[in-house]
Amino acid sequence: MKINRITTDKEEYLQGSSNLDDFPKKLYILGNLSEKRLPTIAIIGSRKPTQYGREVTEKIAFELAKAGVIVVSGLALGIDSIAHRAALEARGITMAVLANGLDTVYPASHKGLAKQILENGGALISEYEPGTPPMQYRFLERNRIVSGIADGVVVIEAAARSGTLSTAAHALRQNKEVFAVPGNITSPQSAGCNGLIRQGAIPVTSTQDILDVIAPNIKPEQTRFVLGDNPDEVTILELLQTGLRDGDEILQQSKIDPTDFNQTLTMLEIKGMIKPLGGNQWTIR
């Protein structure tokens, strides 16, 4: 696929971004930009998220993409890649802003993810010409592009001194909306988000909180309350719908025979009704 160099003020999708003082006049693109402006949200956060951060990211990114919102992030480990993958799972469009030339993908472990983004109508974006290596200062520089492209930035888990907060700072300077997911007040991973909320960021308790601000005419698909095909499936699904995630806790509360329980979990996963989160944690699709 050919790397194209574009002039940002000539792209309709970037019209609002190109007027920003700190936004590049030229960009390198792999893939496609939308031909018209669509609601766009940047989702950012920790490279080492907790299970809570992973689950919230999957839910918000999936529901936004399903509603037709473009999801932007930085292809980094952690929250970034989770957001990209959730948007792809929703068959939505996602774009990644890189801190290096587009002839390489960093981190290399995300080459497959980058390929999926392109194959599903998204784009890889950089202000750096091919051959430019990733450097620490370039990650901070690219953050202004992540926020500049978007209508708002959602921060999901960030420590008090997280580099993620630089993107939120750029968003504020660019007059973009800043959203933050509240977290446990005893968790260092939530200190940055809780601090942003204290300073005036919009707290996110559902995807609708974001849509109400950036695209009030769009409504996300409502979470469907699924029913199983037999009593054991119904019991497990009902427990998951209460917020339980841990397989051992679900087994204990369900009072289902362990062998039958494991078989039922497997069948629910095969049917696409539940999915594993890792570490014997489960959630409804």
The average confidence (pLDDT) of the chain is 91
Tell the burial category of 270 from Cβ atoms under 10 Å away from its Cβ (0-12, 13-18, 19+). Answer: exposed
Region 38-57: mean pLDDT is: 94
- Full domain range(s) for residue 261: 231-284
What is the model's pLDDT at position 98?
Answer: 98
Reported as a single tens digit per residue, the pLDDT across 151-174 is: 999 999 988 888 889 999 999 999
CB 229 within 8 A of CB 243: no
How distant, in Å, are the alpha carbons of 7, 36, 65, 67, 260 from that of 70?
21, 12, 6, 9, 41
Q: Count structural domains, the chain.
A: 2
Tens of pLDDT, residue by residue over 57-75, are: 999 999 999 999 999 999 9
pLDDT above 70 covers a percentage of the chain that reads 97
**Of 159, 184, 214, which closes a domain?**
214
Tens of pLDDT, residues 168-210: 999 999 999 999 999 999 999 999 999 999 999 999 999 999 9
Residue 223: is its pLDDT beyond 50? Answer: no
For residue 154, the domain's CATH number is: 3.40.50.450
For the chain, give the percent of residues with pLDDT over 90. Answer: 75
**What does the alpha-carbon distance between residue 102 and residue 23 come to, in Å, rounded to a whole number?**
18
Count other Cβ atoms within 10 Å, centred on residue 181. 26
pLDDT of 8 strictly over 90:
yes
Mean per-residue pLDDT, 221-247: 78
45 in the same domain as 116 = yes
Q: How many CB atoms lie within 10 A of CB 262?
A: 13
pLDDT of residue 274: 87
Instruction: Tell me how far CA of residue 111 lies from CA of 26, 86, 115, in angstroms.
Output: 24, 17, 6
d(CA 150, CA 203): 18
Shortest CA distance to 195 belongs to which of 205, 182, 210? Answer: 182
Q: What is residue 229's DSSP assignment? A: S
* CATH number (domain holding residue 267): 1.10.10
Let me know if residue 205 belongs to a domain.
yes
Q: Is residue 222 part of a domain?
A: no
Residues 119 and 74 in one domain: yes
Q: Domain for residue 130, yes or no?
A: yes
| CA dist 241 → 135, 209, 235, 269, 281 (Å) | 44, 21, 10, 15, 13
pTM: 0.81
Strand 177-180 versus strand 202-203 pairing type? parallel
| pLDDT: which is higher, 55 or 179 | 179
Q: What is the pLDDT of residue 247?
A: 92
More confidently predicted of 64 and 217: 64
Identify any residues that bridge with 178 across adjacent strands, giving them in sequence order: 153
